[in-house]
Amino acid sequence: MPGWQQSAPTAPALKPSGAFQRLSLKDPLFVGLGVCAHDDSKLEKAHFTEVMLRTDSAQSNEKPVLHCTLETVAISSKDRRVIYHSRDHLEAPNWSRDGRFLLFNSGGRIYRLPLEGGKPVPLDTGFAVHCNNDHGISPDGKLLAFSDQSRGNKSLIYVLPLTGGAPRQITAAGPSYWHGWSPDNSLLAYCAERNGEFDVYTIAAEGGEEKRLTDAKGLDDGPDYTADGHWIYFNSERTGVMQIWRMKPDGSQQEQVTADEFNNWFPHPSPDGRWLVFLSYDKGVTGHPANQSVRLRLMPLAGGPIQELARLFGGQGTINVPSWSPDSRQIAFVSYELLHP
């Protein structure tokens, strides 16, 4: 056709493809590309063109963009798999009791995501649209407990059907942050601030009077029950360093579990009663902030050496809540990366 000229194809904009891992690299450093066959009986070839190694300097007025990756890690192989990634702020995955889907919170809502991936679907939580990263599914798989601050701007604990519906308020006072269900579905364990002190409490899942379990000076947080209901694991800074502790469900027999050079948070016993996973910050980090170099670590509940499952950029939102797969073989978590536009 006279006067017609084909335009050059426009390259698609690049975007993150999944999780990141920070590595400490030293000179001399060599960079290359490789390809391998997924079938070890076949020979595959690849041809790379227009490959460049480029260093971008972020402008001083550029604001980093948060990139979030929902991952799983197998405790036997330490193999990490990406389930979903987004530039929306994702936090705190729960694994469903049937193993079919994950829940997480983002932008004040709680979302349901099929394990094989896809598009997250918001759960109907009624008026509660300021949900934080403290939520979890009941052992019988029928209910969801969660914390929300839509009323009075203070975090309160609610329960609703896992399918969604009208929330039922459980705690009268706030702030209250849910963390664990008792194995018989009857009690909720949580961290709450009362009179300037953060301690561990329990309350009936139907509501009623709360029971204070800890009274040591300093923060006590992150309570979660063992599968047999004999212990509640939690983290406490009563020794000056945040470490993992445990106690009987009535608050008696409080004893320290970890004593190392890390600040250890959010212990979660596995459904089969064999393992404990928790989040570790470097000793110089105060609190449980976001955007830190952290480790997921694993130890036998019966005692034994601690293993490192993964190192990642994360912290607040990574594993605040129970995130074990129902067969106790995997853990779901969120890793983060700050990217320059």
Mean pLDDT of 275-290: 95
Mean pLDDT of the region 78-103: 96
Tell me, what's the pLDDT at 5? 46
Q: Which residues fall within 8 angstroms of residue 180, CB to CB, at 6 or more apart?
A: 136, 188, 189, 190, 223, 224, 225, 232, 322
CB 158 within 8 A of CB 145: yes
pLDDT(240) > 70: yes
Tell me the DSSP string of 229-276.
Answer: SS-EEEEE-TTSS-EEEEE-TTS-S-EE---SSSEEEEEEE-TTSSEE
* pLDDT of the residue at 336: 96
Average pLDDT over residues 96-117: 96
pLDDT of residue 331: 98
pLDDT for res 339: 83
Compute the average pLDDT of residues 7-28: 60
CATH architecture of 65-339: 6 Propeller (2.120)
Q: Which residue has the higher pLDDT, 168 or 4?
A: 168
Predicted confidence at residue 55, as pLDDT, reads 66
